[in-house]
Amino acid sequence: MKFDPNLEEFIKKHYKDSYTIEKISEEGSNRSYYRISSNTKSMVLCITYPFLKDHDDFIVLTEYLIKKNAKIPKMIDLYQEKGWILLEDGGNYYLQDIIKNFDKNHIIKIYRSIIDELIYWHSFSDIPPNVKNRFFDLDKFQFEIDFCVDKIKKNHLPLPPFEFEVFLKEAIEFLCEQKEYVFTHRDFHSRNILFYSEKSDFKIIDYQDARMGLRWYDLSSLLFDPYVKLNSDIILKLFNYYYESSSLPKKQKHFYLNLFYLQALQRLFKALGSFLYLGFDLNKKHFLNYIIPDLEQMILLSQLGRFPDTVYLYSNQLLNHFRSLRTTHEN
């Protein structure tokens, strides 16, 4: 690994003994992350360039969330001219990894603690301008749908039928009519929630694209998550926990459950486009492994939400296509 010669001096401000540098696995971010480890401590180095502190959402939101005592890795040091940031090490285990060894009751307990933190984020009122002035509005939702359709066309996949696109458009229009905007993380899934160990508390990462939106965007990202397969019983239990623990009007559970399902459909379709882009356009092939789980979630959702048949049929068509591709590659 080749680094700027000044980087060693920056790191040695915090490490008196020898240390190692290990690149952390890439996600969808355009930043580079490295774990700096010694016998006594561990930190994470974030490198981005070009870097302007006053216009960098990551820095602005990190400072804001630290003041709010949110569960995020603390910022230890900043080298503004180089775009180097030293962060507290939030851990090497994703929520996706942690729950593999736990039974249903323990999984629900962990998710409830995460939902408690999510409800806190959704209660923020003194929201910074860079979040307050951008929204999950109709234009944003339509952009995400168009982006996915473009990737479907580019990769010569079965195109969405007219009925599917009409239903999706009606869904996002209905969502945008609600106007119950809160501070949303925007990418609140199991690979953006870190643990240091099975017994440690969690840290939330990748929040720099936060914007105003419906609370169901974050909750559906967490519960209908292509990285983690939760069964419908657990999903409903956790939806109920969010609903009952929040300040939402009571006796409107069915209405909010419908919003939750509609938002989950939009989110999963958006995620499909992201996986296609990351896997094919950026050649990050490991993201292609999550297309089948994403489509399986869309099928489950079509049943829970009692959506028109076109949602199930199109999701299943794509699912069979990708299953056949996987079988061909395995043979």
pLDDT per residue as tens, the chain (331 positions)? 567 778 888 999 999 889 999 998 766 566 789 999 999 999 999 887 666 655 578 888 999 999 999 999 999 998 877 888 999 999 999 999 999 989 999 999 999 999 999 999 999 999 999 999 999 999 999 999 999 999 999 999 999 999 999 999 999 999 999 989 999 999 999 999 999 888 889 999 999 999 999 999 999 999 999 999 999 999 999 999 999 999 899 889 999 999 999 999 999 999 999 999 999 999 999 999 999 999 999 999 999 999 999 999 999 999 999 999 876 666 5
Domain identity same for 139 and 32 = no
Same domain, 69 and 161: no
> Taking the CA atoms of the chain, what radius of gyration do you get in angstroms?
21
- Quote the domain boundaries for residue 72: 5-89
Are 53 and 152 in the same domain? Answer: no
Q: How far is CA 325 from CA 154, 275, 318, in A?
A: 17, 16, 11
pTM, rounded to two decimals: 0.93
Residue 39: which CATH number? 3.30.200.20
Residue 218: count other Cβ atoms within 10 Å of its Cβ: 27
Q: Does 288 share its domain with 193?
A: yes
Residues 58 and 168 in one domain: no
Strand pairing of 32-37 and 20-23?
antiparallel
Query: Which phi and psi (to 5°) does residue 176 adopt?
Result: -70, -20
CA angle 225, 230, 231 (to 5 degrees): 135
